[in-house]
């Protein structure tokens, strides 16, 4: 079965922007799942989720108002996360360090991950780091000898 794949991170795609109220180029910021990606309008900078069209859509488990509330709550959480991410990334000067599990990353540094993109090391332990990425917080190993 031929699966459609998401456009790669940093690629631009043409989509409708609600804020600009017209079609704009959106840059792919990060993949949030196998079928969805976070994209950002190149003109106004507003972000939205791009989803691959599904041939077999999942049955909707929540209908109407409940689904809307859940969506709004998720969006608010996402916006808060995006704000935190942007603030953290802006707080550190210089280039992001390339992530490798063999390297040692101190707290409050920027790293660049081949899959998850740029992230901020919020906490650093002996063998793992907690990193704020554009889409979510992830625990990564480091300092592996």
Q: Which residues bind Zn ion (CB under 5 A)?
A: 17, 19-20, 24, 41, 43-44
- Complex with Zn ion: residue 17 or 131, whichever CB lies closer: 17
- Complex with Zn ion: residue 17 or 37, whichever CB lies closer: 17
Laid out side by side, the sheet with 12-17 consists of: 12-17, 22-31, 36-41, 47-51
Q: What is the H or E stretch that residue 29 is in? A: strand 22-31
Give the phi and the psi of residue 25 in degrees, each rounded to 5: -85, 130
Q: Which of 116, 113, 80 minimizes the C-alpha distance to 97?
A: 113
Q: What is the H or E stretch that residue 140 is in? A: strand 137-141
- Complex with Zn ion: residue 26 or 120, whichever CB lies closer: 26
> Which residue's beta carbon is nearest to the bound Zn ion?
41
Task: Report in angstroms how near the CB of residue 15 gets to Zn ion at its nearest.
Answer: 9
The strand pairing partners of 15, in sequence order, are: 24
- Complex with Zn ion: residue 19 or 68, whichever CB lies closer: 19
Task: Report in angstroms how near the CB of residue 18 gets to Zn ion at its nearest.
Answer: 8
Task: Report in angstroms how near the CB of residue 64 gets to Zn ion at its nearest.
Answer: 28
Task: Report in angstroms how near the CB of residue 31 gets to Zn ion at its nearest.
Answer: 21
């Amino acid at each position: 079965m031929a699966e459609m794949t998401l456009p790669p991170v940093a690629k631009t795609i043409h989509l409708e922007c609600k804020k600009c109220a017209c079609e704009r180029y959106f840059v792919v910021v990060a993949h949030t799942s196998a079928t969805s990606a976070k994209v950002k309008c190149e003109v106004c900078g507003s972000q939205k989720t791009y989803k691959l069209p599904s041939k077999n859509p999942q049955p909707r488990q929540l209908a109407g108002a409940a689904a809307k509330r859940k969506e709004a709550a998720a969006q608010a959480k996402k916006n808060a996360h995006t704000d935190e991410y942007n603030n953290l990334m802006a707080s550190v000067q210089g280039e992001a360090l390339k992530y490798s599990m063999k390297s040692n990353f101190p707290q409050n540094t920027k790293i660049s991950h081949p899959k998850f993109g740029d992230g901020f090391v919020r906490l650093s332990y002996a063998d793992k780091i907690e990193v704020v990425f554009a889409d979510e917080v992830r625990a990564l190993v480091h300092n592996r000898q």
